[in-house]
Amino acid sequence: MEIYGYVRVSTKEQNEDRQMIAMREKQVPERNILLDKQSGKDFNRPMYQQMLKKIKQGDLLYIKSIDRLGRNYQEIQEQWRILTKEKGIDICVIDMPLLDTRQGKDLVGTFVSDIVLQVLSFVAENERTNIRQRQAEGIAAAKARGVWCGRIPAPLPNNFDDCYKRWKSGKITCANAARECGMPVSTFRYRAERYESMQ
């Protein structure tokens, strides 16, 4: 029997130390700890896919928490089925002792672990939805405060003020003003709106 550990963080900047410490405490060999630095929205992750190829019947897989496996409710359920039923391995979710397939192999034990898995999978996906909503709200709030989010725009050309004033007074068309500024009409209109708001 081989013992594996799967570790996941969502971005390269996030720290996996907490999960790695948990794997070492469970005496997972370093060579069998597989780490992905990728979103949990799906299972198209290189190290997870490599683990699927290596792992075999009778092996044991440790995961720190169910959201480290993934954050998609249906896919977590499907991957759990593939790992436990098709591959025939045991899984132990360290932070949730009820999700240890080595325990309670009887009908009641299986029933309880299935319910816990469904609840935690739902919570994991719901948290992903909440994270995205909080990000969108944070960006909207930052924009409302005048904090720029995203790419910094190129500086306005030196003749923008003159072109803008002539366009606003009806002396030239928007297309002519945009052409004189060396930008597409849509960009000129967008920059003109921002320019107006700062006047």
Query: Helices 107-144 and 73-81, interaxial angle, to 10°?
Result: 150
Q: Is 157 left (phi over 0), alpha (psi -120 to 50) or beta?
A: beta
Name the token pair of 177. 């003003």
- Report the relative pairing of strands 90-93 and 33-37 from DSSP bridges: unpaired
| Residue where the block lists tokens 């092996």 | 59
The sign of the CA dihedral 64, 103, 79, 135 is negative
Q: Which of 29, 32, 39, 30 is nearest to 8 (CA)?
A: 39
Q: At residue 26, what is the residue type?
A: K
> Is 10 part of the annotated catalytic residue set?
yes
Q: Annotated catalytic sites, by residue?
A: 10
